[in-house]
Chain A
Amino acid sequence: MATIKAAIPGVFYRRPAPTEDPYVQAGDTIVPGQTIALIEVMKNFNEVKAEQAGTVAGFLVEDGDEVSIGEDIVELKN
Chain B
Amino acid sequence: MSELLVHRGGLHTTVQDIGRDGHYSLGIPPSGAMDQYSYRVANMLVGNPDGAAALEVTYVGPRIEFTDDRYVAVTGAEAAVTVNSEPVERWSTLTVRAGDVLDFAMLTAGARPYIAVSGGIGVDSYLGSRSTYTLTGLGGFQGRALKNDDRLPLGDDSVAPPTVGSTVPEKLRPTFPEVATLRTMIGLCSYRITDESMREFTEVPWKVTKDADRIGYRLRGGSLRFVDRKVPHGAGSDPANVVDLGYPIGSIQVPGGDEPIVLLNDAVTAGGYATVGTVVSVDRDTIAQTKSGDQVRFEPVDLDAALAARRDRRERLERTRESLRR
Contacts and interface: CB of A to CB of B under 8 A. Distances in A.
Contacts of B106: 5, 7, 69-70
A41 B59 CA distance: 10
A66 interface: yes
B3 interface: no
Given A8-B11, A10-B292, A46-B11, A69 B59 contact: yes
B107 interface: yes
A42 B12 contact: yes
A55 interface: no
Contacts, number: 43
A31 B253 CA distance: 46
The DSSP consensus for interface residues of chain B is loop
Interface string A59-70: 000000010111
A1 to B, nearest CB: 19
Interface in B42-70: 58-60
Given A69-B106, A69-B107, A70-B106, A9 B213 contact: no
Interface string B102-115: 00001110000000
A43 B213 contact: yes
Interface in A1-27: 5, 7-11
A66 B292 contact: yes
Nearest to A6: B106
Given A9-B293, A66-B292, A42 B107 contact: no
A40 interface: yes
A8 B106 CA distance: 9
A46 B213 CA distance: 15
A69 B211 CA distance: 16
A43 B11 contact: no
A66 B291 CA distance: 12
A42 B111 CA distance: 13
A7 B60 contact: yes
Interface in B1-53: 11-12
A57 to B, nearest CB: 22
B291 A11 contact: no
A51 to B, nearest CB: 11
Contacts of B211: 42-43
Interface in A35-78: 40-43, 46, 66, 68-70
Contacts of A10: 210, 292
A8 B293 contact: no
Contacts of A5: 106
Interface of B: 11-12, 58-60, 106-108, 210-213, 291-293
Closest 9 A/B residue pairs (Cβ): A9-B292, A42-B213, A8-B59, A10-B210, A68-B293, A41-B210, A9-B293, A9-B291, A11-B210
29 contacts: A5-B106, A7-B59, A7-B60, A7-B106, A7-B107, A8-B11, A8-B60, A9-B59, A9-B291, A9-B292, A9-B293, A10-B210, A11-B210, A41-B59, A41-B210, A42-B11, A42-B12, A42-B58, A42-B211, A42-B213, A43-B213, A66-B292, A68-B293, A69-B59, A69-B106, A69-B107, A70-B106, A70-B107, A70-B108
